[in-house]
Amino acid sequence: MDCLFCQIAAGKISAQQVYSDDVMMAFKDIQPQAAVHLLLIPRQHIRSLNDLRPEDAPLLSHMMQTLPKIAAQQGLTDGYRTIINTEQGGGQIIFHLHIHLLGGSNLPGFH
Ligand code: AMP
Ligand code: ZN
């Protein structure tokens, strides 16, 4: 498997991890676009939002409900921005589903 984020999930490539459980993890983006810039990924390989199946619903629900807890742990008490880039037209570069969690100073606009 040559997927970068699968390799991070498997511990084969190191990342600055801030959260981990049985089904997901969160780590710092290597090229942060804001003071806090994390990536949340499912441990299982899902290429993009376009590849979600009905049975992935509990996983996605878990990720979305864990996200605010991670934001709070990062000190983002007054809010944050979430972005999911989907396929080439959406600017996706790594084809393993991930949620960008951005906050703090230098919060970027949409792009
Ligand atoms: P996207 O355009 O949504 O696919 O974003 C991919 C993100 O992954 C970019 O913000 C990159 O900076 C980030 N990234 C690429 N390689 C790594 C890595 N090894 N560790 C952490 N973040 C990475
Ligand atoms: Zn993957």
| E runs forming strands in the chain | 17-20, 24-28, 36-42, 81-83, 99-103
28 Cα to the center of ligand 1, angstroms: 9
pLDDT digits (tens, 9 = 90+) for 93-106: 999 999 999 999 87
Tokens of 111: 């792009």
Is 98 assigned a catalytic role? yes
Q: Where are the domains of the chain?
A: 4-54+79-103
CATH number listed for the domain at residues 4-54+79-103: 3.30.428.10
pLDDT digits (tens, 9 = 90+) for 32-61: 999 999 999 999 999 999 999 999 999 999
Model pTM?
0.96
Edge to edge, the sheet with strand 99-103 lists 17-20, 24-28, 36-42, 99-103, 81-83
- What CA–CA distance (Å, rounded) separates 49 from 89? 13
9 Cα to the center of ligand 2, angstroms: 8
